[in-house]
Structure 1
Amino acid sequence: MNDNNPKAPLTPLNYEPNRHPDYQDDEIDLRELFGIIWQGKWWIIAITFVFAVGSVIYSLSLPNIYKSEATLAPTEEASGGGLSQMAGQLGGLASLAGVNLGGNTVDKTTIAIEILKSRAFIKSFVEKYNILPEIMAVEEWSRQSGLVYNKEIYDPATDEWVRDVEPPKQPRPSSWEYVQVFKNEVLSVARDDETGLVTIAVNHKSPKIAEQLTTWLIDEINNHMRERDIQEARRSLEYLNEELQETALSNMQQVFYQLIEKQTQTIMLANVRPEYIFQVIDPPVAPEQKAKPSRALICIIGTFLGGFLSVGFVLLRNLFRKSKDVA
């Protein structure tokens, strides 16, 4: 065998794999990194322990929040059935007389949901049932003592608001304040696009108040939509009666009589239907278990956060120490 042959095959004795030039440095850096973390293990343990204890204390300080929800189904009137189908037969004639009998692009269910979340409806609801202290001043609830109000905000003995706020705010919360709290923290409305079912949920520190508010909201939105349609039908009746008196053509008189009959039916059926827009499928109940907070999750997140921050602290501390030594 000729050792000087440049085309001689490689053997395990003369073959070395190509190593990345930084491979050895990376291995040393990893060992150094773990060494730094091990040297600062007491810092890591201490900081993680502080975060763990702090997260436990914080989670225990949070009050329980209970959720009461109800499942609703739109009625025939809300979904386009019932009188709305009858309105379709007279829609062309009604448009000639200037009367709106339905057929809008937005159905009544969507309108009812938006009204339920509107500022005007919430303001009227809170004022009607006088629930402002229950929305803005409840600190906690327990089965033994019931509702506990924050005495720095509201005095239940004298029914006075005593909170200390800076102008332009007043001790008594304005509608701007409590409507925002009601929409963001108390009320939740969701609609299933596939089934059309609507879910109304109320979050509160008291399970009984959560159930009561949910029941009141369902009643109020049904009553609001009923009164809205009745007033619209009465205005249409006034207009139709005036036009009927001024019309001498028998064909037009027949049209007006049919439209008057339709509006009269609307008022009659609206008055006899307690569940005018939403029919209750699953009524609200007082929950026995809290919906939030998830104290275990808060503690786990707090502990992991403390661990990450402690490792970062140890690494930065070592980096500053090296910079100081070099300087």
Structure 2
Amino acid sequence: MDNQVKEAPALPAYHTIPMAFLAAPAVEKEFDLLAFWHILSRWKWFILFVTALVTSGAVYKAKTDVPIYRAEVLVTPVTDKGGGEVVGNLSGLASMAGLNLGSGKGSGSNLAILESRAFLERFIRDEKILEIIVPKRPEQDRSGSNHDNDKNSKEMWDAVLIFDGILSVSTERKDGVISIVIEWQDRHQAALWANLLVKKLNDHLRNLAIQEAEKSIEFLNNELAKTQLTQLQQVLVNLLESQLQKIMMSKVRPDFAFNIVDPAVAPPEGVIVRPKRKQMVAIGLGAGLGLGIVLSIVFNMFLSRKK
């Protein structure tokens, strides 16, 4: 029997990959970095020029922008403990007489009045600060236009918009303290206006409460003169006493709706909230450097294709 030699099964062929191909990405990456470094070296003075130009613009803007100061007054809503009990005891009697005795508006409604256009316009007129907020241009003083009323209306409209922009009210504190902030270019005016706003708001709400009570008294007196029922007369007398007490309490309380916890004071000179000069210069430096590099790459590509 002949010895037969069995051939070993053929192994699958493996293709060898050239080492140069494996090293291609690394070489390409190294080439890109070298090319980028070459561009930076070639255009370094241009990059420095653009960086200096943009940074100079940022420095100029940071120095010329009007500094804005921040004045803050902290207040808390007034809680009428005794008045609330009186109103609660007489509410049933008032309903019998057809009169609604509310316990007063909440702090949210009162703050809405503070930020209303009507209140801000009255504040600007009373304090005579229209020309401070919206200064007149020289050509407006020289022109003898027949539309003075229209101009005044437009100026007041703009003044209210500006004042509403510098005024902010925050009620986010958990302790119930309300922050009223004025941000303005004059630090003394900012503090003065913040404190005056609270005073004017208290006065306005006090007058509204007194007017409401006086109307109620007039109504109750008319009803008292018409009725002949002794029981209803006693109800009306009690309601009259409550309204008179409401007027008395409104007049004797200086802080009618809001107590001032911490009045606004003028911040020290130079302690501003805007502009943030260091941040502006840093952003200008980074933007100038980035712009210079991008322009250098674009110019270099353009010149390379042109060749």
User: Fold match, TM over 0.5?
Assistant: yes
- TM-score, normalising length: structure 2: 0.82
**Post-superposition offset of 1:318:** 3.0
- Which blocks of at least 5 consecutive residues in structure 1 are unaligned? 8-12, 138-151
* 1:66-215 alignment, distance < 5 Å: 66-77=69-80, 81-103=81-103, 107-137=105-135, 153=137, 161=141, 170=151, 174-185=155-166, 187-215=167-195
Structure having the higher helix fraction is 2
Percent identical among aligned pairs is 30
* 1:299-318 alignment, distance < 5 Å: 299-318=281-300
What is the rounded CA distance, in whole Å, between the counterparts of 1:37 and 1:4 in structure 2? 60
Q: Which has the higher contact order (CA 8 A, sep 6+)?
A: 2
**Post-superposition offset of 1:108:** 2.8
For residue 118 of structure 2, what is the amino acid of its counterpart?
A
**Post-superposition offset of 1:322:** 4.5
What is the rounded CA distance, in whole Å, between the counterparts of 2:232 and 2:22 in structure 1? 98
1:249 aligns with 2:242: no
SS of the residue corresponding to residue 178 of structure 1 reads helix
Match in the other structure for 1:143: none
Match in the other structure for 1:293: 275
What is the rounded CA distance, in whole Å, between the counterparts of 1:161 and 1:189 in structure 2? 36
Match in the other structure for 1:55: 58
Q: Cα RMSD over matched residues?
A: 3.5
Structure 1 residues 304 and 233: alpha-carbon distance in aligned structure 2, compared to 1, 3 A threshold: same
**Post-superposition offset of 1:173:** 5.6
**Post-superposition offset of 1:39:** 2.8
Q: Deviations over 1:73-96 (max 9, x none)?
A: 11114xxx4423432333343234
Contact 2:134–2:158 (CA under 8 A) maintained in structure 1: no
Contact 1:73–1:281 (CA under 8 A) maintained in structure 2: yes
- Which blocks of at least 5 consecutive residues in structure 2 are unaligned? 1-7
> Which has the larger Rg?
2
Contact 1:76–1:82 (CA under 8 A) maintained in structure 2: no
**Post-superposition offset of 1:233:** 0.9
Match in the other structure for 2:5: none
**Post-superposition offset of 1:28:** 3.9
Aligned residues: 294
